[in-house]
Structure 1
C-alpha cells in the first residue's frame, strides 16, 4: 500500500519535521545596519533633560526611539560617540542621520582646522583638543603638548561626535550633562555647547601648565655661568605655535554660532556660548603673550651667543697680539744679514729674551685689565 492511500498520514514524526518560521515584516525608514561596536563609544537617548536607561547597539534603533517619542509630543535626541571610525562606519552613520558627504569626509580623515559649517539644518563643528604631556625637565623634553580633534554633527534630534587621538575623551562631558537636566532640556545644541566649553577649559588648563615651562626656560637662558642651549627654547616655541593653531581659529567658529545660526540655537544657549568665547579669547591672548615672550627669549639667547662669540674673538685677538711680538723679533733676527752688530754682543741673547718677556707681560696685563683675557 502506498502512502497516498491514507490521506492526512505524515510519514515523518513531529520532532523530525523541518521548522519553518514565518517572515516578519519590520518597516523602517532607514536600512538596518549590524551593530558597529568597534568605533562606537557610547549611544544614548535623552528626553526631557534625562538619559533613558535603555541601551542601544545600533544607530537606527536609537533614532527610531527618538522619533517614537516625538510622535508622542515630546522632544528628545540621540547622542552617539565614535572614536576614529573607518570610512564604512561613517557612511553608515551618514545614511542614518542624513549627514553631508563633505562633512563626513572631513570627519574620517581629520587634520582639519577649527571651523563651523552648516548643511541645511545640521551644524558641523570641528574642535582641536590639547593635552599637556608631563615631563621632568623642559630642557630634556621632546614633546610638551599633544593634539587631537573632535568633530560634532548636530541636528534637531541627534548629536554625533567623532574623536581622533588618544586623549580628549568625552565621558566626563556626558557625566556632567547627566547631572544637569536643566541644561539638557535645551536640546541637542546644548551638547555642542558643553563639548565646546570642555575643550576650551582644557585650553586654559594647558596654557597655565605651560607657564611653568616658560619660567623654567627663562631661568636657564639667563643663568650666569651656564652654557646656553637654544634648542629647548625653539622646542617650546614650536609647541606654543602648535597650541596657537588649535586655539586661535576657533574664535571665528564661536562667533558664527552666536550670530549666523539664531534659527537653530536658542537665545539662552547663545548666552552660554558667549561665555565660551570669552574663555577662548583669554586662552588665545595668553598663548600670544607666551609667543611674544619666547620671541624675546630667542632674541636674548641669540644676543648672548653673539656676545659669547665676541668674547671669544677678543681672547683670540689678545693672544694673537701677545704672540705677534716675539714672532716679529724672531723674524727680524732670522733674516741672516751679514752685518748685524748686536749678534756679536755678549749679552745680546739675554737682553732680547728679557725684552720679549717684558713686552709680552705688559701686553697680557693690559688685555687682562680690559677684560679681554
Structure 2
C-alpha cells in the first residue's frame, strides 16, 4: 500500500487473530460464504488517497468513500449498498498549566469506520482522540465480542471516542474550577478574555459531541438489520455514556456563563468602589481649592488679609472641613 501505510491489517476468525498480515495491494476481503472471518484495516492520519486505496482493497462502496472525504463532515451514520459508514469527531485535551486568552484547550479530529461483508476499515483523520492501535488491542482482549464480526469494531471505535469525550470533560472541569477560583479570589483580576476563550473551546467541544447522538440512536433502534443482537447492550451503553457527556457539556455551558457574569459584576463593583473613593477625594479637596483660589486673586482690599493668624486659620479651616466631608462619607458607607 504505497500512498498510506496501514497501522495494522489482519484477518480474524471466530474472534481470534490469524497469523500474518493482509496485503492491501489486491482484494483483501475473505472469501465469500465465511461470515465468521473478516479483515480489519487500521489507518492513522489517513490521507485521502490512502483511504480510497484501502477502501477499494476492502471492497467498500465507492459512494461511501466519496461521502467520507467531504470537507467539514458532521458526525453521522450512512449506508451505501452493503457498506456502512460511521463518522465520529474525536476530542483530545491539550495539556496546559492555566487557561489563557489565546491558548488551545481541546483539539478535535475525525475517525471514520467502514464496515461491510468481511471487512472493517478504521481511518483516523487528524487529532489524537482515538488511536486505532489502542482500539485494536482492547477489542482483541475480548474475543467473544470480536467474534461478532465487523460490527464489533464499529462498536469498539464508538465506545473509545465517547470515552475520550468523557475524559476530556473531566480535564475541562479542572479548567472551569481554576477560573472560578480566580474570579472569587480576593485579588483583583480581569479574567473576561480567559472566559471567552474557555467559551470558544467549549463550543468546539460541543460541536464534536452533540451531533453524535443521532447516529448512536440509529445504531440502537434497529435501523441497521445487519448488526448482531448481542451487540445491542453494548451499543446502548455507548449511547448512555454519550448522554452523560452531553449533560456535562450543558452544565459547563451554564456554569461558565454564570461565572462570566459574576466576573463582570465583580469588575463593575470594583469600578464603582474606585469611583466612590475618587468622589470622596474630590469632595474633600473642593473646600481648600475654593479657599485658596479666593485668596489667590491678589486684590488689595480683601477681608482678613491683615490678620496675623489668617494663613494658619485658612489652613485649619480647609483641613477641618475636608475631614468632616470624609467622615460624612464614611458614615454613609462610601468608604
**Equivalent-residue separation in structure 2 for 1:103 and 1:36 (angstroms):** 22
For the pair 1:351 / 2:313, whether they are aligned, the reply is: yes
For residues 36-185 of structure 1, the aligned pairs below 5 Å read: 36=2, 38-58=4-24, 60-63=26-29, 66-67=30-31, 70-71=32-33, 73=34, 75-101=36-62, 103-108=64-69, 111-138=72-99, 142-167=103-128, 168-185=130-147
**Equivalent-residue separation in structure 2 for 1:216 and 1:341 (angstroms):** 66
Q: Deviations over 1:60-85 (max 9, x none)?
A: 3422xx01xx34x5532211112233
Instruction: Find the counterpart in structure 1 of residue 266 from structure 2.
Output: 304
**Equivalent-residue separation in structure 2 for 1:57 and 1:194 (angstroms):** 24
Q: Deviations over 1:97-143 (max 9, x none)?
A: 45455542454465422111221222111111122233333469922
Instruction: Find the counterpart in structure 1 of residue 302 from structure 2.
Output: 340
* Unmatched runs of 5 consecutive residues or more in structure 1: 1-34
Corresponding residue to 1:259 among 205, 214, 221:
221
> Structure 1 residues 83, 172: CA separation in 2 closer, same or farther (over 3 Å shift)?
closer
- Is this contact kept in 1: 2:3–2:49, CA < 8 A? no
Q: Deviations over 1:301-338 (max 9, x none)?
A: 00001011111111111111112111222333345556
- Is this contact kept in 1: 2:101–2:193, CA < 8 A? no
**Distance apart, 1:156 and its partner CA:** 2.1
TM-score in terms of structure 1 length: 0.81
Q: Deviations over 1:280-313 (max 9, x none)?
A: 0011101211111111110000000101111111
Instruction: Find the counterpart in structure 2 of residue 195 from structure 1.
Output: 157
- The CA RMSD measured in Å over matched residues stands at 2.5
Higher relative contact order (CA 8 A, sep 6+): 2
**Equivalent-residue separation in structure 1 for 2:127 and 2:224 (angstroms):** 34
Instruction: Find the counterpart in structure 2 of residue 272 from structure 1.
Output: 234
* Unmatched runs of 5 consecutive residues or more in structure 2: none
> Structure 1 residues 276, 267: CA separation in 2 closer, same or farther (over 3 Å shift)?
same
For the pair 1:249 / 2:249, whether they are aligned, the reply is: no
Could you say what secondary structure the match of 2:260 adopts? helix
**Equivalent-residue separation in structure 1 for 2:176 and 2:25 (angstroms):** 47
Instruction: Find the counterpart in structure 2 of residue 225 from structure 1.
Output: 187
**Equivalent-residue separation in structure 2 for 1:238 and 1:127 (angstroms):** 21
- Is this contact kept in 1: 2:27–2:57, CA < 8 A? no
**Equivalent-residue separation in structure 2 for 1:96 and 1:62 (angstroms):** 6
**Equivalent-residue separation in structure 2 for 1:59 and 1:335 (angstroms):** 102
- Is this contact kept in 1: 2:165–2:245, CA < 8 A? yes
- Is this contact kept in 1: 2:38–2:119, CA < 8 A? yes
- Is this contact kept in 2: 1:124–1:151, CA < 8 A? yes
**Distance apart, 1:355 and its partner CA:** 0.7
